[in-house]
Chains A and B, each alone.
Chain A
C-alpha cells in the first residue's frame, strides 16, 4: 500500500475515477476543457486587467479634470486681465465723475446735474454705478458727447437716453452705466455733484444716498 493510498480517502479515489470516466465522453471533456480555459482566461487575464484599467482610468480622469480646471482658471484669469484693460485701474466714483465732466466739457454741452447711484449688480470686485446726467446743447454737441462716451478707451454704456428738442437747443437726460472699483465704492457712497458754470443743482446727495442703501 503506497503513501498515496493511505493519504487519499477511498471515496475521493472513487470520485476521481468517476470523473475520469465522465471525461471520456468527448462532449463533456470538450465542455470541461473549454470552460476551464475560459475560466482561466477570464480570471487570469480579463479580471485583473480590467480592474487595473478601471483604476488607471479613474486616476486619469482625476488628473485630466484637474488639468482642465487649472487651464480653465488660467484662461479665465487671462480673459479677465484683458477685459479689465478696458476699465481704469482705480476707477472709483471720483475718477468717473471727473472723467465724465472732462468729456462733457470737451463736447461743449451744458451740464445741469450729475448724480451717481449704486446698482445691485456686482462684477467681481467692481460694482455697477449709474451716472444720471441732465444736459443741454445743440444736436451736434450731444452727438459728440455720445460718440465720445461710446468710443473712448474706458468703456461705459449709455443705458438710458432721452432727448427733447426745445426752441433753441436740445435738452437731454442720460443714464451712463459704469463699473467702479468696489473697495473704493464702499467708502464713497456719496453722490458727486457737478455744477456747470451756468446752472448748478442740489439734487445729487439725496438720490445717491437712496440708491446706495438699496444696493
Chain B
C-alpha cells in the first residue's frame, strides 16, 4: 500500500458517529480525526491501526521471503503467523459506541448555581452517584444526568432529564440501545458543540448568547466560552422570528442574572444563514447590543448529528449521557489511564536500558583494569599505602635528579661569550658566578644564578666614561646565551682610576636570571 496524498487524507486516527432521529428521519453523521484535522467523512476510511498492522505485515512478509531457508526454522511462530495472516480478512465485528441525540423538546434542563458549602457537597454526591459510582440503579421512568463546572467564582450545576420512554422510542427508531454502550445526549448540547466547533467563541470574558437558526425553529444557547449554561428552544410558528429571538434573549438574560447570579450577557451571535443576516439588524436594535453573524450550518437534524459525532470523537468527562444510569458502571480497569501509565513505564524502561548500558560499560572497564593490575606481577599483594609511599619516594628522588642534570647555564660557554663579545680595549679583572640549585644565596639581590664581571677600560679624562663600558653591557644584553639564561644585564658600578700616569675606568657588569628587586 503506497501512502499517497489520497490515502493520507483517508487515514482516520479516530472516528465517531452521531445519530439523531427527528420526525421519523434518522440523521447519521460520521466525523473523523485525520492527519489534516477533524472533519465530516463519508464512506469507508482507513483506520490507522489497520494501516499500521497491514504495513508491518507487509514488511514482515518481504523480510521472510528474503530470509535464507536455513534461518526459517529459527523464526518465531508468532512472526510467521502474523506474516501469513490474510490482510483482507475482516476483524471480528464489534459495536462501536455512538452518541445518540435526544430531541430538545423531550429534555428538560435545570441549571442553578451551587452554594459553596451545602450544595457543593450535593454536587459532589451527584457526580459520584451519577458517574459510575456504586449508585443504585432504580427502575425509574425518568432518566437524569448532571454536570457541575466552575464559572468564574461560582459553580453551576446543569441537570437534564428525559423520560425512559423517549430513549426507548429512539432505540426503536435507530436500533442503538443504551445497553450496547451508546451515549444519549440532549440535542441542544450537541448543537452547541457543533456550533462552537465551526465558530468558536473567542472572548473569554462575560457571557455569550448564541442563536442557531433554522427554517422552522432554532436554539438560543447561553454559554461561556467553554460550556453552555442554559438553552431555550425557539419556534416561529406562532410569532415573528425576531420577536422570538428577543423574548429568548430576555429570558436567558434574566436566567443568567437572577437564577445563576452571573453577569449580563456581553456578546450575541447569530448562526444559520440566510436567517441570521435577515434578523441581525432588527435584533441588534431591539436588544441594544452588538450582534455578530458567524458562519455555520442552519439548525436541523444534520447539525445535531454532527455535534453528536464530534462528541463521539472527542469524548469529554463532563458531557451528558442520559443513559448513564441504564449502563453498567465502568470498571476501575477501564478507567485506568493506560496510555499515561504505559508512557511512564516506557520512560522507566529507557532509564533501565541507559543505566544497564552504563553498568555494563563500567563492568567492562573494571574487568580490563583488574586484568591490567594483575598483569603487573611485582605489585601483586603490595598494599596501596606502600605503593603510594614508593611513588612519593621516587618522586622525591627523580625531581631533584632532573633539576641537577639539567644544564641551563654553562660557565664555559658564558666565558667564551664574554671573551668574544667584550670590546677589544676592555680587560677582565674578575669573573664571579654562581649557579645554586638547592641552596639560597646569602645575597638575595643576586639570586641563585648570576655572573658578575669586573673589567677595565682605558679612560684618559676623569669623569668621562669610555664607550667600551656601555658597549660591553649592550653586547652582553644582546647575546643569545645571556638572553636565554641571564636576561637581566646591568652596569653595577663605574670607578675612574689613575695609575703610573695612565687613566682607566674599572666597571662591573651584573647579569642575573631574575629582575633584581630591592
Q: How many residues of B contact A (CB 8 A)?
A: 70
A56, B438: Cβ atoms under 8 Å? Answer: no
State whether A73 and B435 are in contact (beta carbons under 8 Å apart), knowing that A33-B341, A146-B411, A157-B404 are contacts in the complex: no
A155, B400: Cβ atoms under 8 Å? Answer: no
Contacts of B400 in A (CB 8 A): 121, 123
- Tell which of B365, B391, B412 touches A150, judged by Cβ atoms closer than 8 Å: B412
B355, A76: Cβ atoms under 8 Å? Answer: no
The minimal Cβ–Cβ distance linking B100 to chain A, given in whole angstroms, is: 24
Q: Which chain B residue lies CB-closest to A49?
A: B355
- Identify the stretch in B199-207, B234-242, B425-433 within 8 Å (CB) of chain A at 4 or more residues: B425-433
Cβ of B388 < 8 Å from any Cβ of A? Answer: yes
B415, A159: Cβ atoms under 8 Å? Answer: no
Prevailing SS type, chain A contact patch: helix
A124, B397: Cβ atoms under 8 Å? Answer: yes
State whether A161 and B438 are in contact (beta carbons under 8 Å apart), knowing that A49-B355, A66-B384 are contacts in the complex: no
A45, B373: Cβ atoms under 8 Å? Answer: no
* Residue interface bits B109-139, CB-to-A below 8 A is 1, else 0: 0000000000000000000100111100000
Q: Which chain A residue lies CB-closest to B429?
A: A165
CA distance A121 to B433 in the complex (A): 21
A34, B434: Cβ atoms under 8 Å? Answer: no
Cβ of B370 < 8 Å from any Cβ of A? Answer: yes
A-B contact count (CB 8 A): 193
A165, B336: Cβ atoms under 8 Å? Answer: no
* Residue interface bits B382-407, CB-to-A below 8 A is 1, else 0: 00100110110111111011101101
- Tell which of A37, A57, A80, A151 touches B412, judged by Cβ atoms closer than 8 Å: A151
State whether A143 and B355 are in contact (beta carbons under 8 Å apart), knowing that A33-B337, A128-B438 are contacts in the complex: no
Cβ of A6 < 8 Å from any Cβ of B? Answer: no
Cβ of A206 < 8 Å from any Cβ of B? Answer: no
Cβ of B287 < 8 Å from any Cβ of A? Answer: no
Cβ of B286 < 8 Å from any Cβ of A? Answer: no
Q: Which chain B residue lies CB-closest to A52?
A: B359
Category for how many chain A residues contact B:
35 or more
Cβ of A26 < 8 Å from any Cβ of B? Answer: yes
Cβ of A106 < 8 Å from any Cβ of B? Answer: no
A70, B431: Cβ atoms under 8 Å? Answer: no
- Identify the stretch in A17-25, A91-99, A185-193 within 8 Å (CB) of chain B at 4 or more residues: A17-25
Contacts of B373 in A (CB 8 A): 63, 66-67, 70
A24, B128: Cβ atoms under 8 Å? Answer: yes
Cβ of B379 < 8 Å from any Cβ of A? Answer: yes
- Identify the stretch in B8-16, B304-312, B343-351 within 8 Å (CB) of chain A at 4 or more residues: B343-351
A69, B336: Cβ atoms under 8 Å? Answer: no
Q: Which chain B residue lies CB-closest to A84?
A: B401
Cβ of B410 < 8 Å from any Cβ of A? Answer: yes
A143, B344: Cβ atoms under 8 Å? Answer: no
